[in-house]
Structure 1
Amino acid sequence: MIRIRRRQSRRSLARPVMKGLADPIDLNTLAVVDAVDEGGGQSGRDVTVGFIADRLAIDPSRASRIVADAVRSGFIRRVASQEDGRRSCLELTPTGEEAVSAAHRTRQDFYGKVLGDWDEGEQREFARLLTKFVHSLDEADHG
């Protein structure tokens, strides 16, 4: 677990994504773009600065700063909530969508190489157990 955490803190997967984009993106902006993409897939949930703070496990003031940077960089935009027009929500711009696509491709290629010699059953079992582990982490954080 420590080795996994160290690799994640070095953001070894983020750097190839950054190199593959037409518009430069910093690591914090990429994290925000990933979180907005993740939140956009959850029906009925507004993606706000608070959502970003929760997803990235950072305090709301830091989340506000890095969201502002991502907006200024053109990767996300603020829009009015459909539930409450006074509330500001976040969504990807076309440039942000390009960054998400590049990130997905890079991760799929990387994990395809890492798991390439695993048979299909091992890959499915690993995915099942990893998903279970992540859900348990989420429950421990909120429980």
Structure 2
Amino acid sequence: MIRIRRRQSRRSLARPVLKGMAEPVDLNTLAVVDAVDEGAAQEGRDVTVGFVADRLAIDPSRASRIVADAVRSGFVRRVASQEDGRRSCLELTGTGREAVAAAHRTRQGFYSAVLDGWDPEEQGEFARLLTKFVDSLDEAGRPDDAARG
């Protein structure tokens, strides 16, 4: 686990994504783009700065700054919530969608190479257990009241 965490903190997988991008993007913007993409994939969810802060495990003021950078860079735009027009939501621009596509291609290629010698059953079992583990991490990281409710 420590080795995985060290690799993640060095963002060794994000750096190759940046090389494949037509537009320059910094690592924080890429993290915002990933979070906005994740939120958009969840039916009925408004993607807000708070959502980005939660997904990146950072405080809301830092999330607000890096989201503002992502908006200025043209990867994300602010839109009014369809549920509450006073609330600002986030969505990817065309450039943001291109960044997500580049990130997905790079990650898929990387993990495909890493898992090359694994048979399909091993890959499926690994995916199942890793998903279970990550879900448990999410549950463990919630405040007691949120985990109960």
TM range (shorter): over 0.9
The code of the aligned residue for 1:106 comes to: T
User: For structure 2, which runs of at least 5 residues remain unmatched after alignment?
Assistant: none
- Please report how far the alpha carbon of residue 44 of structure 1 lies from its aligned counterpart in structure 2 after TM superposition: 1.3
- 3-state SS, counterpart of residue 127 of structure 1: helix
Give, in whole Å, the separation in 1 of the partners of 2:114 and 2:68. Answer: 35
- In the TM superposition, what whole-angstrom CA distance separates every residue of 1:94-136 from its partner, at most 9, and x where no partner exists? 0000000000000000000000000000000000000000000
Number of the residue aligned with 1:54: 54
> Which residue of structure 2 lines up, in the alignment, with residue 112 of structure 1?
112
Tell me how far apart the structure 2 counterparts of residues 92 and 44 of structure 1 sit (CA, whole Å): 16
Secondary structure of the 1:43 match is: coil
The residue aligned with 1:16 is 16
Q: TM-score, normalised by structure 1?
A: 0.99
Matches within 5 A, 1:61-140: 61-140=61-140
Q: Specify the SS of the correspondent of 1:66.
A: helix
Moved over 3 A (4+): none
- Unaligned segments of structure 1, at least 5 residues: none
| Matched residues, number | 143
Task: Name the SS of the counterpart of 1:90 in structure 2.
Answer: strand
Flag the structure with more relative contact order, 1 or 2, with Cα contacts below 8 A and sequence separation at least 6.
Answer: 1
SS at the partner of 1:91? strand
Instruction: Tell me the residue number matched to 2:141.
Output: 141
Q: 1:45 is paired with a residue of what secondary structure?
A: coil
1:3 maps to amino acid: R
Structure 1 vs Structure 2: percent identity of aligned residues?
Answer: 83
- Residue 45 (structure 1) shift: 1.2
Instruction: Tell me the TM-score normalized by structure 2.
Output: 0.95
Corresponding letter in the other structure for 1:70 = A
Quick one: distance in 1 between partners of 2:13 and 2:101?
Answer: 14
